[in-house]
Amino acid sequence: MQSAEDDSNVVSGINVTPLVDITLVLLIIFMVTATFVSEQGLKVNLPKVLTRENAPSPAISVALGRDGRLKLMKKDVTLDELKNQMALEARLDPTVKVLVKIDKDLPYNNVAEVLDAIKLAGINKVALAMDRK
């Protein structure tokens, strides 16, 4: 038979510490893997090249799809909105970097318009995204 003193040592509640530990580990895993998700938000067929150069990081991404849709950090924008936003970014950080992803089948005129809008805003560090052959 157990005495009254033995009953005071019995744990009657659930220990949630392991549950909290597992939850925090899963949260960290999701946060780390979320950075690997494509930022583009627009399907762009990039041109293929033999050489490879690392993209600037961190960088603002601008994507121009085959259908002419223009996206700035996954948000649809017009060319005028892109100019305004790039001017704002250049004022906030003069060393800002921009990574431009443009579909390989677009006419050169469309490419020139986007690059011109970025350069006129005062941004000097612009890179074009390309896939490796």
Q: Assess if residue 98 is contained within a domain.
A: yes
Query: Which two three-digit tokens encode residue 59?
Result: 């960088």
pLDDT in tens, 13-51: 788 888 999 999 999 988 887 766 655 455 666 666 555
First-to-final CA distance of the chain: 79
Rounded to whole angstroms, the Cα distance separating 100 from 120 reads: 15
Q: Assess if residue 41 is contained within a domain.
A: no
Give yes or no: residues 23 and 75 share one domain. Answer: no
pLDDT in tens, 87-109: 888 888 888 888 888 888 888 88
Contacts of 133 (CB under 8 A, 6+ apart): 48, 49, 50
**Number of Cβ within a 10 Å radius of residue 43:** 12
Parent domain of 30: 4-34
CATH label of the domain that carries residue 80:
3.30.420.270
Whether this model's pTM surpasses 0.85: no
